[in-house]
Amino acid sequence: MESVTATYDVGYRLDQDTNVFKEAHEAFEFEYAFVNGNKENKITKDQVKASGLTVTSDMTSLTLVYKEKASTEKPKKANKQEPAKTETTSESDDASDADTTDSQETGEQLTEFFVVASQNQVTKGETAQLTLTIKPDNYPNKDVTWSSSNDATATVDGNGLVTTHEVGTVTITATLKSDPAISSSVTIVVNPIKVSKITVNGYGKDYLVKGNTVTLTTTVEPSDAANKSIVWSSSNEEVATVDQNGKVTAVGQGTVSIKAMNDDSGVYGEQVITVYDNTPANYKVHVYVTNENQKTTYTINIPKDGTVVTPASVAQNTTGNGRTLVTKAEIRVLDELGSQPNWANISSKPIVTAFRYYNGKLQYKTTSNSAWATVGSNQRIYDFSNIQYKADETGSYNSTDVKVTIGDWPYGANASTSEIYKTIQIQVYNNETKKMFKIQELCVMRMVRMVIMEK
């Protein structure tokens, strides 16, 4: 008994006069049909002849039964995506319900032949991998020919790897070499390259004074993006405005974000700018990590109109001793520190909570004193920062940037200590959330001397 499979799209109308039946089943006399393997619910030839038979989405198989056996010539199968399957067999109550195509060589029957893409939406220049499924696994002659409907848009190699070249839509088809009537296709949409990064350039100042202007520019990546247009905007036009050429005009005291956005991709870059009504007072801040002088400073700017500012609003990240230093805004006003200050003494001092400029002097409040105090002539401002360690480029650690707090260890290298039976605690500082996380209590020390070495 030979079976022949033809495949039709949902909505296709079948009847006895369909050319496919004449060609594929010329030697058969149509007897009846049944759907989804349900032989009890027969559709007679008179019903089909009178009203036809329409393929619907709930048909997983459609079997047409004929009286006489057809010739031994193998029929062809036209395979389309998401079809309902139509099977014809010689008349028998035990007729096979499978969707199959015979292999003349071994008698194996083709049950599945379809292509799936790893992605149907691809950016120009990217690739998509197609996967072809042929069932059964031992079906012979699995060799296929891959083809593209438009090689200018995308090409496909012998392994089903699609490489895109131009924007557009392309159909990629796999055709069975042993039977060109059997094929399956997928549609790939090739989208234009979009902007992935915008960097705002041109601002090399600490601040602007009301009335000042500066013109910003952008660097857009990738350089071959299809739409690189930029729309400029200000987060607060009472502080600063920006025109569509990137020209920023300072309007009033405050902090503002100037944004450069690409509407097509939604990607943006921004520049934060501080504006003062008048030139601010400037003060130097010395940077330490616990009791270690990093031999670097930065400048804080305090408005001369008496505006109160917090340490967090003026503290800065810096570099010192070849390392990146991350501020915690842990600022103290102290008498000038010596060459080997004691961390226990330093850490006992209160932390600054606010600054202001008053009567020509810098004043501050602390965690232990809510009254304003004036910075004395023999005092300095100190920022006790963290060291930021980066994973190296070879990836010998990992690909994550880790901010590690070194301390609180109040002693220098080779210093004798009286500390015994104490734990060493490692903490990780998140510079974005400004929070500290304890990682592990490492060990209990039982020693009178510890040598600290740095690579």
Beta-carbon-side half-sphere exposure of residue 69 (alpha carbons within 13 Å): 5
Q: What is the mean pLDDT of the chain?
A: 77
* pLDDT class of 55 with cuts at 50, 70, 90: low
Contact by Cβ (8 Å): 384, 367: no
Exposure of 55 by Cβ count < 10 A (0-12 exposed, 13-18 middle, 19+ buried)?
buried
pLDDT at 179 over 60: yes
pLDDT of residue 406: 46
Burial 216-238 (b: 16+ CB within 10 A, else e): bebebeeeebeebebebebeeee
Closest CA to 116 of 128, 136, 134, 132: 132
pLDDT at 39 over 90: no
pLDDT of residue 350: 96
Q: Cis omega before residue 408 (within 30°)? A: yes
Contact by Cβ (8 Å): 192, 124: yes
* pLDDT class of 35 with cuts at 50, 70, 90: confident
φ, ψ for residue 343, nearest 5 deg: -65, -35
φ, ψ for residue 416, nearest 5 deg: -75, 145
Output the DSSP codes for 25-55.
Answer: STT--EEEEEETT-TTS-EEHHHHHHH-EE-
Tens digits of per-residue pLDDT, 132-162? 999 999 998 899 999 999 999 999 999 999 9
Cα 268 to Cα 37: distance, rounded to the nearest angstrom: 58
**First vs last Cα of the chain: how many Å apart?**
81
Q: Cis omega before residue 136 (within 30°)? A: yes
pLDDT of residue 189: 96
Tens digits of per-residue pLDDT, 81-140? 333 333 333 333 443 343 444 544 455 788 899 999 999 999 999 999 999 999 999 998
pLDDT of residue 140: 87
Locate 428 and state its tokens: 């990780």
**The one-letter amino acid at 37:** G
The angle subtended at Cα 368 by Cα 307 and Cα 372, nearest 5°, is: 35
Exposure of 357 by Cβ count < 10 A (0-12 exposed, 13-18 middle, 19+ buried)?
buried
The percentage of the chain sitting over the pLDDT mark of 70, rounded to a whole number, equals 63
